[in-house]
Amino acid sequence: MIYQDRTDAGQHLAQALSTYNNQDNVRVLGLARGGVPVACEVASGIDAPLDLLVVRKLGVPKHKELAMGAIAQDACWLNQEIVKSHHISEAEIEQVRQKEQQELERREKLYRQNWPPLDLRDRIIILVDDGLATGATLRVAALSVRRHQPKRIVAAVPVAAPPVCDRAALAVDETVCLQTPEDFYAVGFWYENFTQVNDAQVQQTLQSARDRQPTTTG
């Protein structure tokens, strides 16, 4: 299946998550930026509050597309196999981390404004992204959410490389990967329209969700 866009993918994902429909303790978190419009459709489809989780990939120096790890506001995850195989020093890791931390904080401030994060304690948290290529950002997202003592963490994506989906399952309590094609290539290969999500779109999506459920505070 080729999705028309992130909206279409999110609608399919919502159908697969129908067992979580109208449950008071379910919260949907979109991984910013690309996961937010997908998560918006999921939250709308199962009637759950939406929030976001800002994460940043840590790219290998001189090979930025290859993830050696990822960070969230309160968590960092490193792929030790990549770090060792590319002989990446602690100083190099820290240099990349500091740069990505600055961008993470910029986005967090811009997107959230004065809106407090949802309370995750004892909740069922559904982490949503537009796809999994390396799984680094999902791994750190799960690590970050776990610190808040949720009842259950569900990872939900429209498409993922098979081994990545398997590894992601180790970090969460449940995984929902609609497609795990052997010939994966890249996340964007499975979308007709996979244009980059910008800051304004994230802000607009979050505001629409907040308007839909203005009384949700926790």
pLDDT(216) > 70: no
CA angle at 29 for the pair 208 and 74, rounded to the nearest 5°: 125
% of the chain surpassing 70 pLDDT:
98
pLDDT(214) > 70: no
Q: Please check whether residue 1 lies inside any domain of the structure.
A: no
Q: Please check whether residue 217 lies inside any domain of the structure.
A: no
Distance CA 32, CA 61 (A): 23
* Average pLDDT rounded to a whole number, residues 122-126: 98
Query: Using one digit for the tens of pLDDT, what is the confidence trace for 4-14?
Result: 999 999 999 99
Instruction: Give me the CATH number covering residue 112.
Output: 3.40.50.2020
Average pLDDT for the chain:
94
pLDDT at site 86: 95
How far, rounded to the nearest angstrom, does the alpha carbon of residue 79 sit from its chain's CA centroid? 17
What dihedral do alpha carbons 140, 145, 146, 147 form, nearest 10°? 100
Name, in order, each residue with C-beta under 8 angstroms of 4's C-beta and a sequence gap of 6 or more. 191, 192, 193
Domain that holds residue 76: 6-212
Q: Please check whether residue 218 lies inside any domain of the structure.
A: no
> Nearest to residue 75, comparing CAs of 139, 26, 118, 125?
139
CA angle at 137 for the pair 136 and 140, rounded to the nearest 5°: 90
Cβ proximity of 105 and 132 under 8 Å: no
Q: Please check whether residue 143 lies inside any domain of the structure.
A: yes
Distance CA 139, CA 209 (A): 25
Q: Please check whether residue 56 lies inside any domain of the structure.
A: yes
* Number of domains composing the chain: 1
Q: Please check whether residue 16 lies inside any domain of the structure.
A: yes
Number of H helices, E strands in the chain: 7, 8
Q: Please check whether residue 119 lies inside any domain of the structure.
A: yes
Query: Using one digit for the tens of pLDDT, what is the confidence trace for 39-84?
Result: 999 999 999 999 999 999 999 998 888 999 999 999 999 999 999 9
